[in-house]
A and B are shown apart, each in its own frame.
Chain A
Amino acid sequence: MNDDFEKAERFSQGRALAAPFLGLLVLLAQQGTLYVFDWGSDSLVQIFVWLGFAIVMLALLLTGGAWILPARVRRIADDEVSRANRQVAIVTGYIVAMVVCLLVWAISPFEPLHPQRAANMIVSTSLGTAFIAYGLREALGNAAGD
């Protein structure tokens, strides 16, 4: 069996394991479990670290990762089943974003939210659930068989 295929398989299986944990990490971070945000702070570190983290997560979701692997390996690891799983994950994340937006709309007159906090909630829950959905679908596809 060729080397490119084995590299792609190893990456694909690693991605299926890592994606749900990345999703959970994003959700925990949003809850303030790992870091407590100072909402409205003009700290450039806080702004750009979270912004950079969210942009990288979004890019991973949209592309499937494997940025430093050779093109042929990337093509195998990102074949049509992976792309279809990612589409489902993105739709899941979109729906979660919509639901959270609606909740923010409904609740914020009674429990005012800083805009930065609202944006963090929407992006984090959306990305977190998308990654969990992607990882689970990839893992199910990898399961069983011979």
Chain B
Amino acid sequence: MPLEIENSIRRYREEAGLTQAELAARMAVSRKTVNTVENGVFQPSVAVALKFAAVLGQPVEALFALLEEEAQR
């Protein structure tokens, strides 16, 4: 299934000075999850999206957005 969202995880992660592994450890998920979400390979569940938001201290809407073509449907 093609992904419907884009994300700014890498930007906020790097601003926070965290590696993928450090972010993953704080979220209690694998580094693989952070890597695949960041690279747009995997679309996370609501729970994982909220974990990203909580650890990075950003609202979910700042981290994830619908792709333009999806938003216009």
Contacts and interface: CB of A to CB of B under 8 A. Distances in A.
A81 interface: yes
A75 B30 CA distance: 9
Contacts of B33: 79-81, 141
Interface stretch (A4-12, A18-26, A127-135): A4-12
Q: How large is the interface on B (under 10, 10 to 19, 20 to 34, 35 or more residues)?
A: 20 to 34
B56 to A, nearest CB: 16
Given A1-B25, A81-B42, A141-B35, A146 B30 contact: no
Interface of B: 19-22, 24-25, 28-36, 38-39, 41-42, 44-45, 47-48
21 contacts: A1-B22, A5-B28, A12-B30, A72-B28, A76-B28, A77-B30, A80-B45, A84-B42, A138-B32, A140-B41, A141-B33, A141-B42, A142-B31, A142-B32, A142-B35, A144-B35, A145-B20, A145-B31, A145-B35, A145-B39, A146-B19
